[in-house]
Homo-oligomer: A and B are copies of this chain.
Amino acid sequence: MSNASCHCIALRKATRKLSSLYDAALAPLGINVGQFSLLRRVRRFGPVSLTDLAEYLDLDRSTVGRNTKVLERMGLLTVATGRDQREALLSLTDAGRQVVEDGAPLWDAVQGNIETRLGAERLAQLHDILNDIQTDC
């Protein structure tokens, strides 16, 4: 079976496509799906440090640091120093909260599209498999 096309490449390809779908849906807000996800995490867990946020998002800390810089420049979140002066505590600005709120229906729409297209069963299969992939290392 290993002669089949690379599972990794197939996954990457699908990820690009799916990302572009979500990105297109959120485009009216001027943010992409990664940024939307990050903002929602900050809304939910903020004020939160970069390290903790990176853990939640399962991304490298430095990646999160750079990604937040973009959102900070956009005025969607602020970075404050905590009691521990090393910590960069992230919080949403009013604009950031607004974007998350405005984005919800847009995100719901794409998410719903995907669910309709794939159906509940295959969707469950997908998440089950993805989960396996992530927990195997």
Contact = CB atoms under 8 A, between A and B. Distances in A.
A4 B114 CA distance: 12
A137 to B, nearest CB: 6
Contact of A134 (B17, B107, B120): B17
Q: Copy number of this protein in the oligomer?
A: 2
A7 B132 contact: no
A33 interface: yes
Nearest to A22: B8
A131 B122 CA distance: 12
B11 A18 contact: yes
Interface of A: 1-2, 4, 6-22, 33-34, 37, 58-59, 107-108, 110-112, 114-115, 117-118, 120, 122-123, 125-134, 136-137
5 contacts: A6-B111, A7-B127, A8-B18, A8-B33, A122-B132
